Amino acid sequence: MDASSGMHVSSGMEPDLAPDLDEFLLARIAEDKRFAADAAAAGGRDHWTVEDASAHGAPAGGAAEFVARYDPARVLAECAAKRRVVLTCREAQPDLTFLGTRHPGLADFPLAPGNERQLAALTLAQLALPYAGHHDYRPDWRP
């Protein structure tokens, strides 16, 4: 673990038991990718239409449109894009200590990064928010 960045650095030593923010995100993205691939296989295609969704049990209207909009192809594309963002942020050696610098009582005000490392940390933290309910999510990652 690189103390200055809070990110896992390969050193030949045993890794931390809990994943670092970048590793946490990559694992969640891999799960999303697997679910999308499984859905594509079960549905027999990557691209879904409203008609496909309705035929497979989604209620007509908004629910079917939602299912069609988030078809496996789109989820796979989003996973690839998110993975590239995470790896780019990792290269910037994010300063995760920046995430804990918000003053008490200012939780509703956004953090203002002062450099590339802080921006990378904030980007990773924002990407992790949809996974805040996951058992490996750490409250100190909240932006």
Does 66 map to a domain?
A: yes
* Region at 61 (left for phi over 0; alpha for psi -120 to 50; beta for the rest): left
Does 11 map to a domain?
A: no
pLDDT of residue 5: 43
Number of domains making up the chain: 1
pTM: 0.78
Structural domain span for residue 81: 21-98+110-133
Which tens digits make up the pLDDT trace of 67-120? 778 889 999 999 999 999 999 999 999 999 888 777 766 666 777 899 999 999
pLDDT of residue 124: 96
Task: Average the pLDDT over each of 9-13, 44-48, 128-132 and give the range with the smallest value.
Answer: 9-13
Task: Average the pLDDT over each of 7-11, 21-25, 42-46 and give the range with the smallest value.
Answer: 7-11
pLDDT of residue 66: 81
Does 7 map to a domain?
A: no
* Residue 88 host element (H or E): helix 72-91
Beta carbons within 8 Å of 76's beta carbon, 6+ residues apart: 33, 36, 37, 40, 46
pLDDT at 11 over 80: no
- How much helix, strand and coil, in percent to the nearest 5, is found in the chain? 55, 0, 40
Does 64 map to a domain?
A: yes
